[in-house]
């Protein structure tokens, strides 16, 4: 049986790895349009000793499957520093530490006193009949406008570079939706789950944050995709864009840009949804249209390096997020050199700011000089950074993170309906059921498990 995979980001690579782990003699070929393997996993070590992540910064170590993948590939994960647990929100001209525990929340000035009281009212706030609320509708209804603007809206930027007035709560954060449905209140649900975990002596009590420790590798996230690529060897065909999909009898035919073609029994598309849409345009126009409806706004990642002697310690934690109400250029900034060791040369610091996303995609497309100037303005106003960076590198993603907007769940059902007509065609990647690297890995193993079901265990499906 021959399997073609299109796209050598983490989704395509992990799917290939998962198939081979179950069926070592499977014949697999992976087509990748770029010369570089890894997709949104994109690490660069620059002369001068800076190590920049142009895309994925890390993954949370709470999902066993990604850690098992590291183990299978012989990689040693690198945990972020304890200091990185401290996160800030920039609001009303100041940085506020995100409260981690209830007493800290009550004392925090991030929200006004009425704003904090409104959050406590969440315990008795009403439900909704709306089956697909936006993050803004949900946040305002349960926690009040102020908490929405200063907590939920920046969370939408931090994870999706998204617009909270468009993103679907149940598609973006299904667990939050489930907790409300199950307990009638987020606070009550959180407290109940924490008490339960304590009673059972478990250390994984859920908190207000995403949980787990941010994890990467000594040489950055590309260590994972490079190692997978090395192990997959000549099965990967870089710089080989797939143009279209056709069928020949029971087999799928991948049409390549150079006029070549390749037949296979199973075809797994692991490219971004917009690219899948292009490939499927003639093969199944309705499916193509559904895929093309998933928005991917532009995002730029701006890495700035400074010598400490010029700037001192700029911030003692992970970094900060900026609510859209503040109308700044940066969505948020991570002090990478505080998070993982080895990201900046001795005596220097590395900052990474995100610009663009669903609310201001046009900013991501500004020329370098303008972008650098606007980001510098924000870093000066927010962190008091007056020195010029000694190092700048801008990574551009014309189409960055898929947006699970309202209607996403219905779209997925319609895609599934359409796929029933095409046995042997599988769609995977971050466009469907989770944008994080962990989600991509879990979904890759589910895909492999569905194709080769006899060896998949329930534990792997978690």
Give the strand order in the sheet containing 236-237. Answer: 236-237, 27-31, 2-6, 266-269, 425-427
Among residues 4, 40, 287, 411, the one that binds ligand FAD under rule CB under 6 A: 40
Q: Which two tokens stand for residue 121?
A: 């009212």
Min. distance of Cβ 7 from ligand FAD in angstroms? 3
User: Cα(252)–Cα(100) distance, rounded to whole angstroms?
Assistant: 51
Among residues 397, 408, 411, 433, the one that binds ligand FAD under rule CB under 6 A: 397
* Residue 361 lies near ligand FAD (rule: CB under 6 A): no
User: Cα(119)–Cα(132) distance, rounded to whole angstroms?
Assistant: 22
Q: Which stretch binds ligand FAD (CB under 6 A): 15-23, 119-127, 267-275, 453-461?
A: 267-275
Among residues 236, 321, 350, 400, the one that binds ligand FAD under rule CB under 6 A: 400
Min. distance of Cβ 240 from ligand FAD in angstroms? 7
* Residue 375 lies near ligand FAD (rule: CB under 6 A): no
Among residues 9, 158, 332, 449, the one that binds ligand FAD under rule CB under 6 A: 9
Q: Which residue has the tokens 């996160």?
A: 87
Min. distance of Cβ 183 from ligand FAD in angstroms? 27
Q: Which stretch binds ligand FAD (CB under 6 A): 129-137, 192-200, 396-404, 415-423?
A: 396-404
* Bridge partners of residue 247, in order along the sequence: 252
Number of residues that bind ligand FAD (CB under 6 A): 38
Q: Specify whether the CB–CB gap between 162 and 358 falls below 8 A.
A: yes
3-class state of residue 97 by DSSP: strand
Interface mask (CB under 6 A) for ligand FAD, residues 207-246, using x and -?
----------------------------------xx----
Tell me whether residue 148 or residue 404 sits nearer to ligand FAD (CB atom): 404
Interface mask (CB under 6 A) for ligand FAD, residues 402-441, using x and -?
---------------------------xx----xxxx-x-
* Bridge partners of residue 335, in order along the sequence: 351
Give the gyration radius of the chain's Cα atoms: 23
Give the strand order in the sheet containing 214-216. Answer: 59-60, 214-216, 78-79
* Residue 10 lies near ligand FAD (rule: CB under 6 A): yes
Among residues 3, 4, 5, 6, the one that binds ligand FAD under rule CB under 6 A: 6
* Residue 337 lies near ligand FAD (rule: CB under 6 A): no
Q: Specify whether the CB–CB gap between 99 and 319 falls below 8 A.
A: no
* Residue 57 lies near ligand FAD (rule: CB under 6 A): yes
| Helix segments in 97-161, DSSP class H | 102-107, 113-120, 135-143, 145-147, 153-160
* Residue 30 lies near ligand FAD (rule: CB under 6 A): no
Q: Specify whether the CB–CB gap between 154 and 321 falls below 8 A.
A: yes
Q: Other CB atoms closer than 10 Å to residue 457's CB: what's the count?
A: 8
Of 155, 129, 136, 135, the C-alpha closest to 331 is 155
* Residue 177 lies near ligand FAD (rule: CB under 6 A): no
* Residue 251: φ, ψ to 5°: -105, 155
Q: Which residue has the tokens 């250029």?
A: 329
Among residues 272, 295, 297, 357, the one that binds ligand FAD under rule CB under 6 A: 272
Tell me whether residue 285 or residue 312 sits nearer to ligand FAD (CB atom): 285
* Residue 254 lies near ligand FAD (rule: CB under 6 A): no
3-class state of residue 148 by DSSP: helix
* Residue 134 lies near ligand FAD (rule: CB under 6 A): no
Binding site for ligand FAD (CB under 6 A): 6-12, 31-34, 39-41, 55-59, 241-242, 270-272, 275, 279, 299, 301, 397, 400-401, 429-430, 435-438, 440
């Amino acid at each position: 049986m021959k399997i073609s995979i299109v796209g050598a980001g983490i989704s395509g690579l992990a799917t290939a790895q998962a198939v081979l782990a179950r069926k070592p003699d499977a014949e697999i070929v992976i087509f990748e349009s770029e010369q570089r393997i890894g997709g949104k996993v994109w690490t660069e070590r620059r002369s001068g000793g800076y190590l920049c992540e142009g895309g994925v910064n890390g993954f949370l170590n709470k999902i066993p499957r990604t850690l098992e993948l590291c183990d299978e590939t012989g990689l040693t994960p690198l945990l972020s520093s304890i200091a990185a647990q401290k996160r800030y929100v920039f609001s009303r001209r100041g940085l506020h530490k995100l409260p981690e525990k209830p007493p800290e929340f009550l004392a925090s000035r991030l929200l006004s006193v009425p704003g904090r009281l409104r959050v406590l009212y969440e315990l008795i706030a009403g439900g909704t009949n709306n089956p697909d609320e936006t993050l803004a509708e949900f946040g305002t209804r349960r926690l009040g406008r102020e908490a929405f603007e200063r907590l939920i809206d920046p969370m939408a930027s931090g994870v999706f570079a998204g617009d909270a007035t468009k993103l679907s709560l149940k598609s973006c954060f299904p667990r939050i939706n489930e907790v409300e449905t199950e307990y009638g209140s987020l606070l009550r649900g959180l407290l109940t789950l924490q008490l339960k975990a304590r009673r059972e002596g478990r250390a994984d009590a859920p908190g207000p944050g995403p949980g787990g420790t941010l994890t990467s590798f000594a040489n950055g996230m590309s260590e994972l995709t490079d190692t997978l690529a090395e192990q997959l060897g000549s099965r990967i065909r870089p710089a080989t864009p797939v143009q279209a999909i056709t069928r020949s009898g029971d087999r799928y035919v991948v049409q390549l840009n150079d006029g070549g073609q390749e037949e296979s029994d199973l075809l797994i598309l692991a490219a971004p949804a917009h690219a899948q849409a292009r490939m499927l345009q003639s093969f199944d126009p309705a499916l193509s249209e559904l895929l093309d409806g998933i928005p991917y706004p532009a995002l730029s990642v701006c890495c700035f390096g400074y010598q400490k002697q010029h700037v001192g310690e700029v911030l003692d934690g992970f970094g900060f997020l900026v609510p859209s109400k503040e109308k700044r250029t940066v969505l948020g900034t991570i002090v990478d050199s505080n998070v993982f060791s080895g990201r900046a040369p001795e005596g220097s610091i590395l900052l990474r700011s995100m610009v663009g996303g669903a609310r201001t995609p046009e900013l991501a497309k500004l020329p370098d000089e303008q972008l650098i100037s606007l980001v510098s303005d924000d870093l000066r106003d927010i962190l008091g950074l007056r020195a010029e960076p000694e190092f700048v590198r801008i990574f551009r993603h014309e189409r960055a993170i898929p947006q699970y907007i309202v209607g996403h769940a219905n779209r997925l059902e319609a895609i599934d309906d359409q796929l029933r007509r095409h046995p042997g065609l599988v769609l995977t990647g971050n466009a469907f059921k989770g944008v994080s690297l962990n989600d991509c890995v879990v979904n890759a193993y589910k895909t492999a498990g569905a194709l080769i079901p006899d060896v998949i265990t329930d534990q792997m499906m978690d």
